[in-house]
Amino acid sequence: MMYGGIRGRWLRGAAAGLAVAAVLAGGTGAAPAPPNAEVALTVEAPTEFGLYDAAEGREGRQDDYEIFVRPAHGVAENVEVTVDARELKKVGTLTPGHRCTGQGAVFRCRFDPRDLKYGAHSRPFHLRGKDGVAPGDGGTVRITARADNTPTARARTRLEVRPPDLIGNRPEHVKAASDGVTELRPSFANPGRWTVRKYALKLSTYGHHMEFDRRYRNCWYSDGIADPEESGEVWCEFSTPLPPHSAWRVAQPLRGKLQRTMPADSVRYEAVHGTRDPKNFPYRGSGPELDLERVPSKQVRESRTGASALLVRGPAQMDYAPVVQGKLRGRVGDTVSLRIGVRNVNGGRLPGPNPDHVEVVPPEGTTITSTPYEVDGDPMDGACAEARHRERVWICDLGGEAFEGVEGRKGARATVTTRIRIDRKVPGARGSVRAVGKYDRTHGNDTVALPAEVSEAAGPSGLTIGFTAVGATAAAGGLLVLWRRRRAR
């Protein structure tokens, strides 16, 4: 039985998705007309399914159990599906669900032929839990589908009350050795009031930048061939029972090696109820068995998000240097355009989305007005934004589309236009441009100065002043002559 791990998640079925449990069986059933061999009907349902957590009791709910009815090679006429869920009465109260009617935990579901053209889903019942149940309690639901012109189709699902959810520890930081080798000791706990006997520990690297040492015979490893997104995964099974309110960690370290050019990776893990999928974990370890050791319960504390991870930091880095193209030179009132950004000094790479940024502080007496850029030839704005609670600081997010292309290649650079208005002349004013990188440990080249060369605003020319003076003198002379004439009269 496959159920969830952390936070009530469960793996439904022996593989992800719905397992086709129906088989086409010959038979007359209640069909009034002989079956037409060219038309078929199937019922798809999960082979196994979880009900609710035993600790929930009467508060438990299950409204998600779903079947899928599909015709083939023609139109199935007058389709009726019977869902016999009487074995579940001991673990809950059942009521009819979507498209269905009935009582006594036997439900009949009918489908409009138009809905069945490409198949139709139905959630045939709702179940409300009961107090006093234990993990593993439940029963088998039997589904029978009939139509006037098809053979009868059948499917069945085993539904059980889920065991207690196991929780993983809050994220922890792990430092890799100089060659990238790291030792991982994940820990988890059973906070419930029932002993858990069947479970596994699943680990996966976030960026797929770490390779695990296949050294334990009770662990299976992925190869990334069946699904590249599943590469860098480990599945370990244990026989140690987990008593209520107990905490555990692996007794020997799981070893992984970080890629040489990768500064970090995150190894996420969860304790799950279920069985291994051989397609995703085909390779078994060949060494000793990985054991568990008990630890004080206070050492395992679930994070607020429910996610557990070992955050591995390696010796590699992503070394940035700021770039300023152009000079901040002009008169008061001018707006000057510069190119500001970063350069990849060492060809470093990042384990995921770029978390880094550039801080721009314009010189005193100047103001950043805009930071335009283009995406596929379309004009955009806002490559940088004013920092909150930090006066005169602008932040340029290197993870944005304005700064693409700076990662993974030595000497690669990305810059954006930065428009700065000169408001007034401040002698000796200097700003700065600083590259801030999460994995940048070479800080001597992180900052460059941004000086301003400012001239006063242009005044009127000497010729203009001369003409103005002559005009003023002539006007004054004219007024004097006019005054004298009036006195003579």
Among 313, 338, 362, residue at a domain's last position? 313
Q: Please check whether residue 194 lies inside any domain of the structure.
A: yes
Q: What is the pLDDT of residue 20?
A: 35
From the number of C-beta atoms within 10 Å of its C-beta (0-12, 13-18, 19+), residue 137 rates as middle
Is 218 in the same domain as 241?
A: yes
Q: Please check whether residue 471 lies inside any domain of the structure.
A: no
Under 8 Å between Cβ of 24 and 40: yes
- Between CA 35 and CA 32 the distance in angstroms is 9
Q: Please check whether residue 430 lies inside any domain of the structure.
A: yes
Is 364 in the same domain as 383?
A: yes
pLDDT in tens, 350-400: 888 899 999 999 999 999 999 999 888 899 999 999 999 899 999 999 999
Residue 118's domain is classified under what CATH number? 2.60.40.10
Among 313, 343, 360, residue at a domain's last position? 313
Strands of 283-284's sheet, edge to edge?
172-175, 309-313, 264-272, 200-205, 233-237, 219-221, 283-284
Is 172 in the same domain as 116?
A: no
Is 264 in the same domain as 118?
A: no
The boundaries of the domain holding residue 383 are: 320-455
Is 21 in the same domain as 126?
A: yes
Is 153 in the same domain as 172?
A: no
Q: Please check whether residue 466 lies inside any domain of the structure.
A: no
Three-point CA angle 18, 23, 28, nearest 5°: 140
Q: Please check whether residue 465 lies inside any domain of the structure.
A: no
In the chain, the N- to C-terminal Cα span, in Å, equals 124
Helices (H) and strands (E) in the chain, counts: 1, 39
What are 238's two structure tokens? 């244990």
pLDDT in tens, 152-202: 999 999 999 988 889 999 999 999 999 999 999 999 999 988 999 889 999
Query: Is the pLDDT reported for residue 94 higher than 90?
Result: yes
Residue 445's domain is classified under what CATH number? 2.60.40.1510
For residue 16, give the nearest of 42, 51, 52, 47 by alpha carbon: 47
Q: Please check whether residue 382 lies inside any domain of the structure.
A: yes
What are 443's two structure tokens? 């800080």
**Phi-psi bin for 187: left (phi > 0), alpha (psi -120 to 50), beta?**
beta
- Between CA 215 and CA 252 the distance in angstroms is 11
pLDDT in tens, 427-481: 999 999 999 999 999 999 999 999 999 998 766 554 444 444 444 444 445 544 4
Is 342 in the same domain as 329?
A: yes
Among 114, 137, 162, residue at a domain's last position? 162
Report the largest interatomic distance among the alpha carbons of the chain, rounded to a whole angstrom. 137
Is 49 in the same domain as 151?
A: yes
Q: Please check whether residue 469 lies inside any domain of the structure.
A: no
Is 261 in the same domain as 346?
A: no
Tell the residue number behind the tokens 């309690």, with chain if given.
137
Three-point CA angle 212, 216, 218, nearest 5°: 115
Under 8 Å between Cβ of 97 and 75: no
Is 302 in the same domain as 325?
A: no
- β strands within 150-291, DSSP E: 150-162, 167-168, 172-175, 181-184, 187-190, 200-205, 210-212, 219-221, 233-237, 246-250, 254-258, 264-272, 283-284
Regarding pTM above 0.95, the answer is no
- Between CA 173 and CA 247 the distance in angstroms is 19
Is 193 in the same domain as 64?
A: no
Tally of domains within the chain: 3
CA of residue 450 relative to chain centroid, distance = 38
Is 141 in the same domain as 266?
A: no
Three-point CA angle 238, 244, 249, nearest 5°: 40
Q: Please check whether residue 244 lies inside any domain of the structure.
A: yes
